[in-house]
Amino acid sequence: MTGLRFGPLSPETVHLCIDMQRMFGEASPWASPWVGRVLPVITEIAARSPERTVFTRFIPPRHAEDMPGSWRRYYERWSEMTRDRLDPGLVELFPALARMAPPATVIDKATYSAFGARELDRWLADHNVDALIVTGAETDVCILATVLGAIDRGYRVVIVTDAICSSSDPGHDALRGLYESRFSEQVETVDAQTVIAAWAG
């Protein structure tokens, strides 16, 4: 990790923050112990240019049977996380981030990838985006799915290493290595201060 290998970030760069919601930071089955550490870093990046920030929210179904195929089995396993049982406030962004929206944009999704929400493709196209600064949770689930979608669409992807987290330390570490090796021509991994110094906003 030696800085931005592919040059400066363009004015068309956007900060895409994945699923920084209260249900990943509270005493829930999906809690990620590292959320508290990365939240201030993500807040600093988002505050750099909130109008060029997109927050996604992972929204569970009301009932497991509302989902198709293996998603139904998933929510039968995590039935306490369906919206008929979950405190509705837990799907909200952490307050420090929610205060920025608007001007930041919030896009809801029902699957791991942010590109599962068609609204994201439209928003990025409407704003002529060419690069994504990626932060949020989780390194090895929703961030992974989103990064692969961004790669397929040809976006420059910059992952902020001290602004991502997971409930699984082995999963986080393994995906850090994957991003830095297997996707080395399509993904850059840098720390937050490198991004903050380079982002035109």
**Domain residue ranges in the chain:** 13-61+93-198
The predicted-structure confidence for 134-169, as pLDDT tens digits, reads as follows: 999 998 899 999 999 999 999 999 999 999 998 888
Q: Is the pLDDT of residue 37 over 60?
A: yes
Q: Is the pLDDT of residue 27 over 80?
A: no
Terminal-residue alpha carbon distance, the chain: 22
User: Averaged over 181-193, what is the pLDDT?
Assistant: 92
Tell which residue, 95, 112, 5, 6, has the closest CA to residue 46: 95
Residue 150, number of CB atoms within 10 A of its CB: 24
- Residues with Cβ < 8 Å from 2, sequence gap 6 or more? none
Q: What is the pLDDT of residue 1?
A: 44
CA distances from 69 to 63, 65, 74, 75, 177 (A): 14, 9, 9, 11, 31
* Fold of the domain built from segment(s) 13-61+93-198: Rossmann fold (3.40.50)
Instruction: Report CA torsion sign: 184, 105, 28, 70.
Output: negative
Q: What is the pLDDT of residue 151?
A: 96
Please calculate the CA angle 92-95-99 and round it to the nearest 5 degrees.
Answer: 105
